[in-house]
Amino acid sequence: MEHYLAVAVELICGLGILFLILKCLGKTQFSQITPFDFISALILGELVGNAVYDHEVRIKEIIFASLLWGLLIYIIEFITQKLKGTRKFLEGEPNIVIQKGILKYEVLKKNKLDINQLQSLLRQQGCFSIKEAEYAILETNGMISVLLKSKYDTPKMQDVELAPKQVYLPITLILDGEVVYDNLQEAGVDEEWLKQELASQGVNECKDVLFAEWHAGQPLFFIKYDSGSDK
């Protein structure tokens, strides 16, 4: 029993340490993983894993090692923000793999990327043929940014000379049956208005609504718990 309790304590401490470190390092550790970020995340996970499976390693040593590693990563991130010259070495740099419609095969080889992988990355960006791409840039996180040729690109309002329209952000008013009061204020409405809108569409209680979204100039959109149907 004591063994399981010790494992539980180590896991909880490890989770807390990793969460604290990743919060300090920023969201790039999740959404824009570079090779260096991958290594840092791997090492942090290994440190916590050792605390669980190696009984000779004490939790104090793991906490010290994790905090020290997190501090080193933070210092390196700080250096890359302040000294631009270090970014290329530590974070890498984007590479153009398609330029003016021409595939740069040597750049693909340099980045250990084959044609099938390139096609897969292009498709994830909505480009289903290499011939449709005017430019394609391999980013430092391994993703592809694509600029389509004009004849394959979606026309914009300025291209067809349409008058611009005001853009509004949809706002979530109910989430999992609970009213999001801060968003009500952001939308410029109150709870009474929300209840009236729901009542007009046959819903008596906010708790019966899984999700509700407000968008300026449009009827209230919601999904009920019971049927999963939307309005």
Q: Would you say how long the chain is, in residues?
A: 231
Indicate if 11 and 83 belong to the same structural domain: yes
Indicate if 29 and 84 belong to the same structural domain: yes
- pLDDT by residue (tens digit) across 174-185? 998 899 999 999
Q: Which of 45, 71, 88 is the last residue of a domain?
A: 88
Q: Give yes or no for residue 30 having a pLDDT over 50.
A: no
Indicate if 71 and 114 belong to the same structural domain: no
User: Which position has the higher pLDDT, 33 or 130?
Assistant: 130
Structural domain span for residue 214: 171-224
Domain assignment present for 153 = no
| Mean pLDDT, residues 214-231 taken together | 76
The number of distinct structural domains making up the chain is 3
Q: Give yes or no for residue 26 having a pLDDT over 60.
A: no
Domain assignment present for 154 = no
Indicate if 176 and 198 belong to the same structural domain: yes
Indicate if 69 and 104 belong to the same structural domain: no
Task: Read off the CATH number of the domain in which 190 is found.
Answer: 3.30.240.20
Q: Give yes or no for residue 48 having a pLDDT over 90.
A: no
Q: How far, rounded to the nearest angstrom, does the alpha carbon of residue 160 sit from its chain's CA centroid?
A: 33
| Mean pLDDT, residues 116-130 taken together | 91
> In this prediction, what percent of the chain has a pLDDT beyond 90?
27
Alpha carbon distances (Å) from 134 to 45, 113, 146: 40, 19, 8
Q: Which of 88, 107, 135 is the last residue of a domain?
A: 88
Indicate if 15 and 62 belong to the same structural domain: yes
| Mean pLDDT, residues 77-86 taken together | 75
> In this prediction, what percent of the chain has a pLDDT beyond 70?
68
Indicate if 100 and 134 belong to the same structural domain: yes
Token pair recorded at residue 148: 């389509």
Q: What is the pLDDT of residue 132?
A: 92
Domain assignment present for 192 = yes
Domain assignment present for 159 = no
**Residue 215 parent element (H or E):** none
CB 87 within 8 A of CB 62: no
Q: Rounded to an integer, what distance in angstroms lies between the CA atom of residue 229 and that of residue 127?
A: 33
**Which residues, 6+ apart, have CB-to-CB distance to 36 below 8 Å?**
76, 90, 91
Domain assignment present for 166 = no
Estimate the crossing angle of helix 35-53 against helix 2-25, to 10 degrees.
Answer: 160
Of the ranges 84-98, 100-114, 115-129, 203-217, which one carries the lowest mean pLDDT score?
Answer: 84-98
Q: Rounded to an integer, what distance in angstroms lies between the CA atom of residue 100 and that of residue 155?
A: 19
Q: Give yes or no for residue 72 having a pLDDT over 70.
A: yes
Q: What is the pLDDT of residue 160?
A: 76
Q: What is the pLDDT of residue 217?
A: 82
Indicate if 144 and 192 belong to the same structural domain: no
**Which residues, 6+ apart, have CB-to-CB distance to 104 below 8 Å?**
96, 97, 98
Q: What is the pTM of this model?
A: 0.56
- pLDDT by residue (tens digit) across 153-174? 888 777 777 777 777 788 999 9
Indicate if 102 and 53 belong to the same structural domain: no
Indicate if 60 and 107 belong to the same structural domain: no
Estimate the crossing angle of helix 2-25 against helix 59-82, to 10 degrees.
Answer: 10
| Average pLDDT of every residue of the chain | 79
Indicate if 83 and 118 belong to the same structural domain: no
